[in-house]
Amino acid sequence: MLLLFNMWKRFLLFLPLVFLLTPAAFATTPQEAALIARSAERGSAAAQVLFGVIYKEGGGGYAQDDKQSAYWFRQAALQGNAYAQQELGDYYASGKGVPQDDRQAAYWREKAARQGNTVAQRELGAMYFRGKGVPQDYRKAEYWLDKAADAGDRDAQYLLGKMYHSGHGVPKDLERGRNWLERAAAQGQSDAIKLLNFLVGIGRDTTEIFHQRGGELKKMAAEGDVEAQYQLALRYESGAWGVARDNQKALYWFKKAAGAGHKLAMKSLAHIYQKGLLGVQPDPKQSAYWLQRAEGRGQ
């Protein structure tokens, strides 16, 4: 009994990492997987999620089985588990384990999105943009993509940047588009980097900076390179490309670049203070200040 209790505590500790781990990482033996199965059958949503992942990948003595995976995700989804709702939405979108059904995909993704699931927010935004499974609605597409982009989802940042750059479904705004594209590119989103290579009229080709190592970029920023300061702020904001995430340092470098006249850094600060990002409280006055400066001077 003590062994089973200790294993169950272990599963609960692993649950927050379910996005990152395969079943082999937390169900290394059939005995452990069997404990999850029994708990799932007794109605534990946490165990149902884990059992769904086990069937999704195969492990712990269980063969990979999309239908069983979808079944257990559904059980957890019905209990309100956002991760399971997103997984079930993906299954309906692809037709894995269930009949393909875009409406059901949108239904479950919206449930997960409303609970703050970033992947669901991105996918739901894309569905509203395309009119897939839901009536086409650019305002809702922008709303959900913005939610995911603010949470740091690089694919949402790319899609949102592309929308603003092309003016497809939203008022065309090249600077706002570039801002989101650069945020995505700072996290290594390859499509964003490729698209930035085609942008004209932005002065120096900044895409070369995305390939600089973290140490090199820090050196360039410290030496006063304003574009490097802005790009370094983006990396600290997202924690990517050799730079650990650090809200305070991100804010510092945004301010350094903005103080040196970088228009997008100013707009970034306006956005940060408007929404209360990077650990700061929402500050309408600061937001308005940086927005006015951005509109009054260039880089």
Determine, yes or no, domain membership for 245: yes
**pLDDT value at 211 more than 90:** no
**Residue 126 in domain:** yes
DSSP 16: G
- Supply the pLDDT for residue 178: 87
- Measured from the Cβ of residue 140, the count of other Cβ atoms closer than 10 Å reads 17
- pLDDT computed for residue 13 by the predictor: 47
Structural domain ending residue among the three candidates 135, 157, 190: 135
Q: What is the CATH number of the domain that holds 89?
A: 1.25.40.10
Structural domains in the chain (count): 2
- Record the tokens describing residue 186, joined without a space: 């700072």
User: Using one digit for the tens of pLDDT, what is the confidence trace for 74-88?
Assistant: 999 999 999 999 999
Helix, coil or strand: residue 216: helix
Please say which residue of 82, 102, 135 terminates a domain.
135
- Please give the structure tokens belonging to residue 162: 């592309």
What residues contact 100, with CB distance under 8 A and at least 6 apart? 92, 93, 94
Cα dihedral across residues 175, 179, 181, 185: positive or negative: positive
Distance separating alpha carbons of residues 36 and 23, to the nearest angstrom? 11
Q: Is residue 160 part of a domain?
A: no
Domain that holds residue 86: 35-135
Quote the CA–CA distance of 15 and 8 in Å, as a whole number: 11
Of 135, 162, 193, the position where a domain reaches its end is: 135
Q: Nearest-CA neighbor of 86 among 68, 103, 109, 69?
A: 109
What span, in angstroms and rounded, lies between the C-alpha atoms of 107 and 91?
A: 12
Q: Is residue 294 part of a domain?
A: yes
Q: Distance between CA 225 and CA 237 in Å, rounded?
A: 18
- The pLDDT-based confidence of 238 (bands split at 50, 70, 90) is confident
Q: What b/e string do you get for 64-77 counting C-beta neighbours within 10 Å, with b at 16 or more?
A: eeeebbbbbbbbbb
Residue at token pair 């079944």? 71
pLDDT for position 231: 83
Question: pLDDT at residue 145 above 70?
Answer: yes
CB 251 within 8 A of CB 271: no
Confidence (pLDDT) at 5: 42
Give domain status of residue 29, yes or no. no
Decide which of 182 and 213 is more confident. Answer: 182
Q: Does residue 63 belong to any structural domain of this protein?
A: yes
* Tokens coding 91: 């299954």
Neighbours of 260 (CB within 10 A): 15
